[in-house]
Chain A
Amino acid sequence: MLPIFNGLRDINMWTVLFRMVVAFICGSVIGIERTYSNKPAGFRTHILVTIGATIASMTGMYLYLVLKLPTDISRMGTQVIAGLGFIGTGTIIVTREKTVSGLTTAAGLWVAGIIGLAIGAGFYEGAIITFLITLFVETTVSELGRFITKPGRLKIALSYYYRHDLGQVMSYLKEKQINIVNLQITGNNEDIEGKFYSVLMTLNPRHPVDENELVTALSSMDGIISAGKLDK
């Protein structure tokens, strides 16, 4: 381990202060990035998590090293990891489109907690390297992620009078390389002009598509009464 930190590995007034300051800085820097991306857990949340973890970790060591009580120095801090799992779960939300959002925030909070534990234990090297990794992942990799993500699915509702009208829609989608994931046809609808079919389809485009353009193209076809995009 790096010898510069050797004077800071025991538990005393100065190391406690030093570790708190380090935890504060690490938490705030990770949190600032989150706040900038306008995510739920920001600046203050991350500071509180890292400081809390640091305190728990230091207290465990204090009991054993200073008070000389028979305990495992890691037991106290360790529960932080399970506890933050609970808190992280609370930040995960299910959106109206039935997708999950906030998992990355939860994971980031969890890692910030473990970094706090390392700082509290006096394991500065590990804490700093992981801190740098976290910053790298939060900034650079998230850009990369946006780059490699395939376009999401979309749901389209259509209605038409005759059974054969659907054929042109299918060939149009095939031509545009849009895969059909799910197709639900309802036949027993009726309006003033007679019976009509309505279709609900989930599409998985291979390339990014302009949703409005797709809907316009579909609704302007012969025999199609209406076409519209639904919320997922």
Chain B
Amino acid sequence: MLIYFYIGQEYGNSVEALREFSFGTVCLRLVLATLCGGLIGYGRTKKNRAAGLRTYMLTSAGAALAVLISLYEFSMLEGPWASVVAEVGQRYDVSRVAAQVISGISFLAAGSIISVAHRQVYGLTTATGLFASVCMGIAAGAGFYECVAAAVFFIAFALEGTTNLDLLFKRSTRNITMAVEFDDITHIDAITKVIEEHADSIHSIDIEHSESGNGKHSSVIYTVRMKKHQTSHSHILSYVAELPWVYSVEEVIA
């Protein structure tokens, strides 16, 4: 009990010391932000994504530095520049710099989102992962250590641990998007009829004409809601694929 009390008090004291603004804590927070960014970014590099170890480490460190700048300025206004503050008035907002970090990194991350054929969008996880990791960097810069510890765990888990779960959800959803490629646009009625028979409803039909290699091709993207007890996506795909005019059917998974 006594030992517990001692450790508890010691913990309290040391953590309180880490919340002060000093050279030591500045070093600690910047290094902490870099390391935590690295922990999150490690898996992304391993998966060969656009934003990897370096990007995560750099942006987290930058976010921590931004918060530390405003803490520094505040400490200067409290100390050496107190006379100016007394004369002109207190006009300082400590959270302003960090607030811009959030919008800045969002712009940056937006550049990594790309849209490819068949209405698919890539890079959303890259962008949002970077955003979350930078917010963690802000917490590290502010000396909010408890939040950093939890954030690293949860962000890394969301990025690494939920991949299979995500795929599972995507495969078992009743909404399915498929790209059908066939010879002539006049056959669209017949194809739509087949899909209608096997599906609950068709949400949208998006026609994109494409000319390729040997002559004319039509390609259409159907967004379909499947019947209630129909679990397999390949079921409906195979019906469409069996039609004589259809070259290929592809399920579009975002």
Q: Do A and B come from one complex?
A: yes
- Interface residues, chain A, CB within 8 Å of chain B? 1-2, 9-10, 64-65, 68-75, 77-79, 81-86, 88-92, 94, 98-101, 103-104, 106-108, 110-111, 114-115, 117-118, 121-123, 125-127, 129-130, 133-134, 137-138, 141-142, 144-145, 148-152, 184-186, 188
Asked if B232 lies at the interface with its beta carbon under 8 angstroms from chain A, I say: no
Q: Chain B's nearest CB lies how many Å from the CB of A168?
A: 23
Q: Chain B's nearest CB lies how many Å from the CB of A163?
A: 14
Asked if B9 lies at the interface with its beta carbon under 8 angstroms from chain A, I say: no
Pick from B38, B46, B75: contact of A141, CB under 8 Å: B38
- Interface residues, chain B, CB within 8 Å of chain A? 22-23, 26-27, 30-31, 34, 38, 42, 45-48, 50-55, 57-59, 61-63, 65-66, 68-70, 72-73, 75-77, 80-81, 84, 87-89, 91-93, 96-97, 99-101, 103-108, 110-112, 114, 116, 122-123, 126, 247-248, 250
How many angstroms between the C-alpha atoms of A164 and B207 in the bound complex?
34
Who on chain B is nearest to A132 by CB? B30
- CB-based contact A130/B65 at 8 Å: yes
Task: Knowing A145-B53, A149-B48, say if A85 contacts B106 (CB, 8 Å).
Answer: yes
Pick from B45, B63, B100, B105: contact of A78, CB under 8 Å: B100
Q: Chain A's nearest CB lies how many Å from the CB of B112?
A: 5
Q: Chain A's nearest CB lies how many Å from the CB of B133?
A: 11
- CB-based contact B69/A126 at 8 Å: yes
Q: Chain B's nearest CB lies how many Å from the CB of A128?
A: 10
- CB-based contact A123/B100 at 8 Å: no
* Residues of chain B within 8 A of A137, CB atoms compared: 34, 53-54, 57-58, 61
Task: Knowing A2-B23, A118-B65, A129-B30, say if A82 contacts B72 (CB, 8 Å).
Answer: no
Who on chain A is nearest to B74 by CB? A74
Pick from A77, A82, A88: contact of B103, CB under 8 Å: A82
Task: Knowing A145-B45, A148-B46, say if A107 contacts B55 (CB, 8 Å).
Answer: yes
- CB-based contact A81/B48 at 8 Å: no
Task: List 8 A-B pairs, Cβ < 8 Å.
Answer: A1-B26, A70-B88, A74-B97, A78-B97, A100-B111, A110-B62, A118-B68, A123-B68
- CB-based contact A110/B105 at 8 Å: yes
* Residues of chain A within 8 A of B112, CB atoms compared: 92, 100, 103
Known A73-B77, A126-B30; further 7 A-B contacts with Cβ < 8 A: A84-B104, A100-B50, A103-B126, A108-B54, A115-B62, A148-B42, A150-B48
- CB-based contact B72/A126 at 8 Å: yes
Pick from A69, A100, A148: contact of B114, CB under 8 Å: A100
